[in-house]
Amino acid sequence: MKSVAREGLREVTEMRTHDAGMLRREHAGSEVRLAGFVQRRRDLGGVIFIDLRDRSGIAQLVFRQDISAPSLELADRLRSEYVVCVTGRVVVREAHAINPKIATGEIEVEVTALEILNAAKTPPFLLEDGIDVDEMVRLRYRYLDLRRPEMQRTFRLRHQVMQLVRQFLDARQFIEVETPMLTRSTPEGARDYLVPSRVHPGEFYALPQSPQLFKQLLMVGGFERYFQIVRCFRDEDLRADRQPEFTQIDIETSFLTQAELMSMMESMVAHMVQETLGVTVSLPFQRIPYQEAMARFGSDKPDLRFGMELCDVAPVVKNASFKVFADVLAKGGEVKALVAPGCGSFSRKEIDDLGKFAARYRAKGLAWMVVEETGVRSAIAKFFTEEELSAIVAHTGAKVGDLILFIADQKKVVADALGALRSHLGKQLGLIDESVLAFAWITDFPLVSYDEEASRFVAEHHPFTMPRVEDVPLLDTDPGRVRAQAYDMVLNGYEIGGGSMRIYQRDVQEKMFQTLGFTMEDARSQFGFLLDAFEYGTPPHGGIAFGLDRIIMILAGQSSLRDVIAFPKTASGTDVMVMAPSPVEKKQLETLHLELALETEAAQK
């Protein structure tokens, strides 16, 4: 190792012969060169011990008066996070000094030469797992946060998942094709991020919300099996679990049936889980039609790690004298119940809190009954006969000590509120086995839904989704009842992927646009190229897109997408490390043929 004229500035020669974390008893006697960060320093009676950390793990360095003499003074200056390069000899530790907790615990490295490659200030927080630090501080010093072992593990997992997906698809003749990032703004769905053009004054590119049209055009182009792990963008109001840019595993196939595609995709996900977590998932995943999922779980992304299914109590309450239930049913609404096991002991306040929780989902009221040895206790018990109460208890399957919760409302409110209550209670009551990965497919989504505000039908998935063949006649009479050839993959209460078979014929696509209230002129101006493409021999095709960030979040056991994205944005879309977005020079805007239109002059630069 060459010495340096100027500390830390060196024409570098080889800095490392071994990874620190890989040293074992069999290396004893070897001369090694290691490089990495100082994890900690201890000084025991003139002997200095350093835990040296590199990406592979930790090795203990020891500086002794005799052999390390030339470096001892330098070693005394080492502090946490200093970057060093050392030469030394691997020795087996004395029996009492062996540390079985670390992989290199049987050895240490007696240092003969030390070079400080870089010094370090004291980090603003401890670089270890389980820290309780304001997330803004972690994000501002992201380059330090990333040194923490759990972050290193998360991004290695993310890397591994990406490679596994690619290998799986490559082995099945999929090819990865890159689609444009600078593309065209489309009116449907979420807001686009726009990119002004310098060369074409007054015109804009849009960043893709997904490569949907391009992947369909690749099928028209005869590629048959396409994938891409691709960045997508949505300028939405951000919630805790959204990011303005996110990564999609994007897939499209030709000449495969929906069943063939779903089967291949669940194998891919099972393979990913097997190889990363060592968990074997049984195949095929259960298929649950959308209507069934909504009926049983009040959700199209049910958490299947626990039961507590919704129960339609209309048959046992419709003839009772409780007017609230009867009225709702008479108006075409629903009355459904949820049995909270063992919650008969809930206080009035606890039950009221559940009512407030349900109100967030627009439920006007939450009725309840407690099943006791002696009968049913409830504020509404008086509106029912003993026989009716027994029938309700029997119908819901509630047992003594259970709490039955009722919501009577429009179908959607009942599903949303009871579905949310189910998830809430599932967590609160500890019904969820965190070690389980509960996968399922939700199928047969509605093709369109009526948007009251826009006074028209809007696509539930996107306007290129194929209806189920037997439902096509309904497009003319009752579009809301048409089922789509669309499917979501769900895992533990999250949607992790969604896809559909696509319309591949121009006349069907035109009919779909009509259903959505597009004039043919609108359709042509937005999607003319796709309608054109459909005239030149488009194969039957369909695909899916998985949310990579969400998948990694679940597999890594994290609760925030920000913990699985290397440089994430905050909830206001800000990168607090580089400080983006930021004001730009006026002349940059001039070049782009733009002026700011700010409400206050003061905000202008």
Enumerate the known binding-site residues for ATP: 234-236, 243, 495, 547-550
Compute the Cα dihedral for 262, 265, 266, 267 and give only its sign.
Answer: positive
How far, in Å, CA of 116 to CA of 35, rounded?
Answer: 10
Q: How many CA atoms lie within 13 A of 379 on its CB side?
A: 9
Task: Spell out, one character per residue from 352 to 391, where the chain touches its own copies: x when CB under 8 A holds, - when not.
Answer: ----------------------------------------
Complex with its own copies: residue 455 or 582, whichever CB lies closer? 582
Window 40 to 59, contacts with its own copies (CB under 8 A):
53-55
Compute the Cα dihedral for 12, 13, 19, 25 and give only its sign.
Answer: negative
CB of 389 to its own copies, least distance (A): 47
Question: Of residues 96, 121, 239, 349, which one binds its own copies by CB under 8 A?
Answer: 121
Window 554 to 573, contacts with its own copies (CB under 8 A):
565-567, 569, 572-573
- Cβ atoms of residues 406 and 336 within 8 Å: yes
How far, in Å, CA of 225 to CA of 267, rounded?
Answer: 16
Place of tokens 């620190």: 20
Residue 263 interacts with its own copies (CB under 8 A): yes or no:
no
Residue 17 interacts with its own copies (CB under 8 A): yes or no:
no
Question: Of residues 60, 71, 179, 509, which one binds its own copies by CB under 8 A?
Answer: 179
**114, β-bridge pairs:** 86
Residue 142 interacts with its own copies (CB under 8 A): yes or no:
yes
- Cβ atoms of residues 37 and 147 within 8 Å: yes
The answer for residues whose C-beta is within 8 angstroms of residue 139's C-beta and 6 or more apart is 145, 562, 568, 570, 576, 577
- Annotated binding-site residue numbers: 188, 234-236, 243, 461, 495, 502, 547-550
Question: Of residues 61, 316, 533, 545, which one binds its own copies by CB under 8 A?
Answer: 533
Question: Of residues 152, 280, 321, 560, which one binds its own copies by CB under 8 A?
Answer: 152
Residue 414 interacts with its own copies (CB under 8 A): yes or no:
no
- Cβ atoms of residues 88 and 32 within 8 Å: yes
Residue 126 interacts with its own copies (CB under 8 A): yes or no:
no
Complex with its own copies: residue 225 or 422, whichever CB lies closer? 225
Window 78 to 117, contacts with its own copies (CB under 8 A):
81-83, 85, 117
Radius of gyration of the chain (CA): 31
Compute the Cα dihedral for 554, 557, 558, 559 and give only its sign.
Answer: positive
Residue 304: count of CB within 10 angstroms of its CB: 21
Both tokens of 182, joined, read 């600078």
Question: Of residues 185, 267, 276, 410, which one binds its own copies by CB under 8 A?
Answer: 185
Binding footprint of its own copies, residue count (CB under 8 A): 144
Compute the Cα dihedral for 288, 290, 293, 295 and give only its sign.
Answer: negative
Complex with its own copies: residue 54 or 388, whichever CB lies closer? 54
Q: Identify the helix (H) or strand (E) that includes residue 351.
A: helix 348-359
Window 275 to 304, contacts with its own copies (CB under 8 A):
none
Complex with its own copies: residue 305 or 468, whichever CB lies closer? 468
Question: Of residues 501, 516, 523, 551, which one binds its own copies by CB under 8 A?
Answer: 501
Question: Of residues 191, 323, 362, 377, which one binds its own copies by CB under 8 A?
Answer: 191
One DSSP character per residue, 223-242 reads --EEEEEEEEE------TT-
Window 227 to 256, contacts with its own copies (CB under 8 A):
231, 233, 235, 244-245, 247, 255-256
CB of 190 to its own copies, least distance (A): 12
